[in-house]
């Protein structure tokens, strides 16, 4: 049984393939008649969209289509869903604002997607993206997590007072904690800032969408951490079709760290465009695009209150956490 003992080395089966350059990542995949997509992102943290002029971009060399939120709405494509719903401390449901894959009326963060340009090559799509004219009306924005809920701050969503998405509580007995803290010999209070972080995986996110009109089914190639999870969300919330009509293929993944677990607007867009255009559509971002649109982490302000007895044993702990959940 020695070979099965704890602490025995285990030879990794994938090393030879990776070390000899035989890994197979998303950007290594090319589909027949594949087109390339580039996303036009908002440079504003908050702005109203007065109009989008795509005429010059649509006429640029190699461009197949320039798609906007109006096109998405006309095709009745569902929003990207929130799947982590919580209940507020007063038992009311948390806010779940809509998240269309392409924005129509108002951008709410830098990197919000306004248009999708599809062309024969990625370079042609990038050039055409520069020709899309968006008439923005900049609006006041709040970017300080600690002040976002203060009275008078700009609202991300007009129907959410003080920018509170949810007010959640977990613990044993708040009244008992308060009593123990009030009678404690020592109190220690501390405020900690857990700064915002951006995942910088070796391989950026990407997606290729395909559609088979004969089968009436979609195929998504994506460097995701949750193939079945994506399939279920795309089928049930976005396209409203049976799960067996969507296939998600995951090749090698060059790092994810949780960021590649989620359903992103680009997953929706490449599948939608593939059906609309009758061609596979590939989207691979550069690093700047990833920094603007990958799901980021942390950005929490934590206020801790620890109560201790005369022997310095902890008798109560309360934590108030303000977390930036994004737009």
Instruction: Kindly indicate the confidence band of residue 4, based on its pLDDT and cuts at 50, 70 and 90.
Output: low
Res 64 pLDDT > 70: yes
**Percent of the chain topping pLDDT 90:** 93
User: Do the beta carbons of residue 75 and residue 68 sit within 8 Å?
Assistant: no
Return the number of other C-beta atoms located less than 10 Å from residue 199's C-beta: 18
Contacts of 14 (CB under 8 A, 6+ apart): none
Phi, psi of 161 (to 5 degrees): -55, 135
User: Do the beta carbons of residue 139 and residue 59 sit within 8 Å?
Assistant: no
The whole-number pLDDT of residue 1 equals 52
Q: What is the pLDDT of residues 162-187, one digit of tens each?
A: 999 999 999 989 999 999 999 999 99
> 7-21, 24-38, 135-149, 162-176: which has the minimum mean pLDDT?
7-21
Length in residues, the chain: 327
CA distance 309 to 186: 6
Instruction: Kindly indicate the confidence band of residue 108, based on its pLDDT and cuts at 50, 70 and 90.
Output: very high
Parallel, antiparallel, or unpaired: how do β-strands 106-107 and 314-323 relate?
Answer: unpaired
- Across the range 116-139, mean pLDDT stands at 98
Of residues 180, 174, 145, 137, the one with CA closest to residue 162 = 145
Res 12 pLDDT > 90: no
User: Do the beta carbons of residue 156 and residue 327 sit within 8 Å?
Assistant: yes
Identify the residue with better confidence: 6 or 105.
Answer: 105
> Does the predicted TM-score (pTM) go above 0.85?
yes
CA distance 68 to 212: 23
Q: What is the pLDDT of residues 293-325, one digit of tens each?
A: 999 999 999 999 999 999 999 999 999 999 999
CA distance 279 to 34: 6
The whole-number pLDDT of residue 2 equals 60
User: Do the beta carbons of residue 224 and residue 253 sit within 8 Å?
Assistant: yes
- Across the range 116-123, mean pLDDT stands at 98
Instruction: Kindly indicate the confidence band of residue 7, based on its pLDDT and cuts at 50, 70 and 90.
Output: confident
Q: What is the pLDDT of residues 209-230, one digit of tens each?
A: 999 999 999 999 999 999 999 9
CA distance 297 to 8: 36
The whole-number pLDDT of residue 224 equals 96
- Across the range 268-283, mean pLDDT stands at 98
Of residues 249, 253, 211, 210, the one with CA closest to residue 228 = 249
CA distance 294 to 258: 11
- Which pairs from 177-185 meet CB under 8 Å and 24+ separation? 177/316, 177/317, 177/318, 178/316, 178/318, 180/307, 180/315, 180/316, 181/305, 181/307, 181/315, 181/316, 181/318, 184/307, 184/308, 184/309, 184/315, 184/316, 185/308, 185/309, 185/310
């Amino acid at each position: 049984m020695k070979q099965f003992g704890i602490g025995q080395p285990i030879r990794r089966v994938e090393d030879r393939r990776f070390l000899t350059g035989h890994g197979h990542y998303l950007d290594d995949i090319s589909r027949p008649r594949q087109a390339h997509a580039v996303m036009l992102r908002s440079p504003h943290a908050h702005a109203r969209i007065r109009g989008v002029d795509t005429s010059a971009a649509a006429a640029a060399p190699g461009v197949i289509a320039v798609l906007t939120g109006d096109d998405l709405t006309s095709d009745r494509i569902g929003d990207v869903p929130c799947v982590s719903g919580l209940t507020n401390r007063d038992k009311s449901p948390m806010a779940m604002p809509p998240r269309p894959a392409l924005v129509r009326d108002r951008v709410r963060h830098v990197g919000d997607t306004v248009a999708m340009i599809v062309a024969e090559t990625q370079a042609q799509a990038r050039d055409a993206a520069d020709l899309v004219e968006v008439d923005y009306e900049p609006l006041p924005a709040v970017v300080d997590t600690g002040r976002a809920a203060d009275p008078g701050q700009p609202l991300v969503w007009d129907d959410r007072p003080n920018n509170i998405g949810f007010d959640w509580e977990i613990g044993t007995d708040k009244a008992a904690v308060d009593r123990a803290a009030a009678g404690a010999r020592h109190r220690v209070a501390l405020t900690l800032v857990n700064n915002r972080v951006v995942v910088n995986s070796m391989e950026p996110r990407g997606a290729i969408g395909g559609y088979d009109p004969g089968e009436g089914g979609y195929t998504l190639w994506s460097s995701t951490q949750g193939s079945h999870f994506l399939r279920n969300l795309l089928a049930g919330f976005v396209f409203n079709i049976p799960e067996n009509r969507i296939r998600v293929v995951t090749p090698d993944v060059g790092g994810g760290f949780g960021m590649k677990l989620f359903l992103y607007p680009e997953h929706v867009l490449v599948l939608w465009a593939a059906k609309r255009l009758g061609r596979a559509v590939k989207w691979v971002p550069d690093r700047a695009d990833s920094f603007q649109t990958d799901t980021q982490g942390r950005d929490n302000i934590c206020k801790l209150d620890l109560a201790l007895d005369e022997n310095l044993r902890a008798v109560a702990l309360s934590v108030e956490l303000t977390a930036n959940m994004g737009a």
